[in-house]
Structure 1
Amino acid sequence: LVTVTWADFKKLFFLQFFPRAEQERLKKEYHSIRQTNTETSMEFMQRFLRLAGFLGAAAGTEEEQAKNFQQKSGDRNQPTSQQSSHKSHGYHNDRHGSDRRGGSDNHRSSNNNYSSSNNRLNFKSIQSSSTHEHDPN
């Protein structure tokens, strides 16, 4: 009988049953992931978390994962081409960052998806802000 730590068991298991080529494919997919036009935010989050789970530490800290998730999703806090067009034609956001379409203040700390007190990703926050389907416009 051999006793191993959980971390050692996971390493051995992945080396034995999870080919290096598949690990590299999933790593590449994680780093190039984007939300598709037909994918809801919830579906994208599930796919994102599945890939991050396979990668473990290679996916980054939870704070880095939260930032990556927001950058790669169809997040409405990111300016759309229509909003960018409005900016170039003089339809600027008000001084607090709320745009005319959504009316949300993009600079409030309540928009953070992770807590600064413990640097842990708050998936409940992501789920509540990502329950709407992706709007490609």
Structure 2
Amino acid sequence: MKSFIMRSFIGICFGAIVAVVVTNLLFLVGGLEAIDGDLFLKNSLGSLFCGWFFIVSPMYFEIRKLTLSQQTILHFVTVLVLYFILALTIGWIPFNTNIILLTIFSAIVVYAGIWTAFYLYFKNQARKLNDDLKKC
């Protein structure tokens, strides 16, 4: 429970940072001169919630009863469903079949790439630790 609360705090803070950075970039680079308060509030809350579930959802990988494939599927489905509910509700993704399918495809490609990178990294770390243990 302590880990969940700490991760929740970190995720919400990360989401807040993203909201502030994006808003500042819109002013500095995008030529935005004024902010619509309702739109800012909606997008900021969406960013906070998004940061929260992206940081908390990897806790599936700490459940030792589940296999790696079960952990991965649960994590991916959780993140994808929550993101789509959020993004479609807020308007980050329009209700357009082609765009939704493109977003799902992009999410699968990005997720597979990140998952593969982490898998190879930790496999390499395990190999190094095993090699060090053999030397002892």
When the two structures are superposed, what TM-score results if normalisation uses the length of structure 2?
Answer: 0.33
More helix by share: 2
Which structure has more relative contact order (CA 8 Å, sep 6+)? It is 1
- TM-score w.r.t. structure 1 length? 0.33
